[in-house]
Amino acid sequence: MAKEPKPIEELSIWDDAKAMIAKARAEGIETVHERLAQQTPHCKFCELGTTCRNCTMGPCRISAKMPRGVCGADADVIVARNFGRFIAGGSAGHSDHGRDLIEVLEAIIEGETKDYKITDEAKLKALAAETGIEVEGRELKDVATDVMENFFADFGSRKKEISFLSRVPQKRKDIWAKLGMTPRGVDREIAEMMHRTHMGCDNDAPNTMIHAARTSLSDGWGGSMIGTELSDVIFGTPTPKMSTANLGVIKEDKVNILVHGHNPVVSEMILAAARDPELVEKAEKLGAKGINVAGLCCTGNELLMRQGIPMAGNHLMTELAIITGAVEAVVVDYQCIMPSLVQIAGCYHTKFIDTANKARFSGAIHFDIEPHNALQQAKEIVNLAIEGFAERDAGRVDIPCEPVEIMTGFSNEAVIAALGGSLDPLVQAIAAGDIRGAVGIVGCNNPKIKQDSMNVELAKELIKKDILVLVTGCVTTAAGKAGLLVPDAIEMAGPGLKKVCGALGIPPVLHYGSCVDNARILQLCAALANALNVDISDLPVGASSPEWYSEKAAAIGLYAVASGIYTHLGHPPNILGSEVVTDLATSGLEDLVGATFFIEPDMVKTAEMFDERIKAKRKGLGLSE
């Protein structure tokens, strides 16, 4: 018998979500919540991380009665290997995204595309100078070519360290060198992780964990950072601007196109096509009041940061957005796109369109978007959406709320500009105790957790304590819907944060971008540490992913810890089957890298733990608590 999903009230804190879950149930449409109920209880071995499928002598499961797999691997080895591969998966996702941006830069340089261009020349030159490339007196194309070659080389095996280690404080680099944790090449660390976890290789759990950390660092300071920086070069570096969020951004009288996934390479082209006057005219002729592009998940964050395009929702809103019945097309690139969207789109007139050969969905309409054909393909997609408008069943349309305002666009460049050209005012505000510290709240939704309950509560608890919050990924929409991403949110903050943010006219919770943009937070931490001549682990900062679900979020958490940032997770990864691995993650890493994970489902307690940590770090820097 099918298991009952939880009552709607327990699934989300948002009215728009609850209304759409109710609509789905009334219309007999299955969502993630029904499927979670079907899958519960989950396999205990898998939850503990003590199952191994790495060879056909197995699969093996470890318990007190069966302490070793067929090959002799124990729980510690198996848990570490599984966690290492989990991290490799996440690092590969972010980094392959970064590589795609290098390939677009290459197409621009080679003249293979007119659809993309170098938008922020100053940033390209700054990146070149930072990574040791001569800029003075050279043609932009030559500089761009060297930047491209250098970043491609960051994926390979020929370097001793990746380029952006130029940003890392020396003390941190010394720690990595001593531990054998210095990231050399992105693909190299990922491939080595797969090699080490083959049967009969790295059978020492702590050693495997060190390499997992190295792999994640190649993501944070490599693939992700390249992805962020080249996105800024190609599409422009974000600046503060206002926009809106929640399902109310979907418009009843317009052709609605939702972009979903991660890479702005596709979504920027869809937006450009949707602004094409001929296509707008065609939409109007068919009775629409225009074409409305809105975002989901991280490609939504990319468009929001640079173009102010509204955000329809985060991870658990992706199915529900289609259930409004008012979406003509969902256009996806890759990552975090539930395959169920194809079936849900099929329950409406919605066209589900995939655009990347590496992320095809059975039942989708496929367009191969490449640099040379991007705009033309995007126009065809937008045209399909326009033609779908006539197929919409007005009787099934329900857009459940009005949008809320949000402020976005906080790149490091924008923050420095707002501070008058340097980080000094921020350093002074930290020294004075007006801003006692900063925590990045990042990551996802997970249907095991009431949607956004933890993401929002933690942000509110932290700002009360004068701790500045930076949000990325799916936490952005949560913070926005809770009214935390507008300057008026200073009313919810402590007195110091209220004073500083009030003077600058910014919210106490800053939107810092998409998942790859956590690299911006790493860069900010490194810049602050360098300004104070300390290590990142000496700073009063932290990171949290309360409702995480993905391999990528785990990689982000691990590169934060390995970079010296105390990091909270709302629930543990599947490592509890090994005391060695669990102890290392939650305490042992402190001695090695100066930071650990902590797992805590209660957000009031979590905020208190960050508060204690920040007090200790402030004391260490000779500052008042």
Binding site for ligand MSK (CB under 6 A): 262, 297-298, 314-315, 336, 443-444, 473-474, 514-515, 550, 552-553
Closest CA to 592 of 542, 549, 537, 523: 537
594-613: string of b/e by CB count within 10 Å (b at 16+)?
A: bbbbbebeebeebbebbbeb
- Encoded tokens for 424: 């000094």
Query: Under DSSP, is residue 295 helix (H, G, I), strand (E, B) or coil?
Result: strand
**Within positions 311 to 340, which residues make up the interface with ligand SF4, using CB under 6 A?**
none
Q: Which of 55, 153, 347, 419 binds ligand SF4 (CB under 6 A)?
A: 55
Residue 599 parent element (H or E)? strand 597-599
> Could you give the string, one character per residue 70-89, with x where binding to ligand SF4 holds by CB under 6 A and - elsewhere?
xx-x----x-----------
- Taking CB within 5 to 8 Å according to partner kind, which of ligand MSK, ligand SF4, none is near residue 48? none
User: Closest separation between CB of residue 85 and ligand SF4, Å?
Assistant: 12
401 is in an annotated binding site: no
Runs of H (alpha helix) within 359-508: 374-389, 412-418, 424-432, 453-464, 475-481, 495-504
Parallel, antiparallel, or unpaired for β 541-545 and 437-441? parallel
Q: Which of 52, 107, 337, 454 binds ligand SF4 (CB under 6 A)?
A: 52
Residue 469 parent element (H or E)? strand 467-472
Amino acid at 318: T
Judge contact between 293 and 271, C-beta under 8 A.
Answer: yes
User: Closest separation between CB of residue 261 and ligand MSK, Å?
Assistant: 8
Nearer to ligand SF4, 52 or 454 (CB): 52
- Taking CB within 5 to 8 Å according to partner kind, which of ligand SF4, ligand MSK, none is near residue 57? ligand SF4
Peptide bond preceding 169: is omega within 30 degrees of 0, i.e. cis?
A: no
- Encoded tokens for 320: 């529900």
Residue 441 parent element (H or E)? strand 437-441
Nearer to ligand MSK, 101 or 298 (CB): 298
**Dihedral sign of CA atoms 386, 390, 391, 397 in order:** positive
Q: At what angle do helices 424-432 and 518-532 cross, to 10 degrees?
A: 80
User: Closest separation between CB of residue 295 and ligand MSK, Å?
Assistant: 10
- Taking CB within 5 to 8 Å according to partner kind, which of ligand MSK, ligand SF4, none is near residue 552? ligand MSK
Neighbours of 343 (CB within 10 A): 15
Nearer to ligand MSK, 203 or 335 (CB): 335
501 is in an annotated binding site: no
User: Closest separation between CB of residue 205 and ligand SF4, Å?
Assistant: 13
43 is in an annotated binding site: yes
User: Closest separation between CB of residue 315 and ligand MSK, Å?
Assistant: 4
201 is in an annotated binding site: no
Residue 57 binds to ligand SF4 (criterion: CB under 6 A): yes
Neighbours of 30 (CB within 10 A): 17
Judge contact between 295 and 301, C-beta under 8 A.
Answer: yes
Judge contact between 544 and 458, C-beta under 8 A.
Answer: yes
Nearer to ligand SF4, 56 or 362 (CB): 56
Judge contact between 302 and 513, C-beta under 8 A.
Answer: yes
Cα separation, 22 vs 603, whole angstroms: 28
Residue 445 binds to ligand SF4 (criterion: CB under 6 A): no
Nearer to ligand MSK, 54 or 267 (CB): 267
Question: Among the candidate windows 1-9, 25-33, 47-55, 472-480, which touches ligand SF4 by CB under 6 A?
Answer: 47-55
Residue 58 binds to ligand SF4 (criterion: CB under 6 A): yes
User: Closest separation between CB of residue 71 and ligand SF4, Å?
Assistant: 3
Q: Is 64 exposed, middle or buried (0-12, 13-18, 19+ CB in 10 A)?
A: exposed
Question: Among the candidate windows 53-61, 123-131, 424-432, 589-597, which touches ligand SF4 by CB under 6 A?
Answer: 53-61
User: Closest separation between CB of residue 173 and ligand SF4, Å?
Assistant: 35
- The residues binding ligand SF4 (CB under 6 A) are 52-55, 57-60, 69-71, 73, 78, 199
Residues that constitute the known binding site:
43, 52, 55, 60, 71, 262, 298, 336, 444, 474, 515
Q: What are the binding residues for [Ni-4Fe-4S] cluster?
A: 262, 298, 336, 444, 474, 515
> Residue ranges for the binding site for [4Fe-4S] cluster?
43, 52, 55, 60, 71
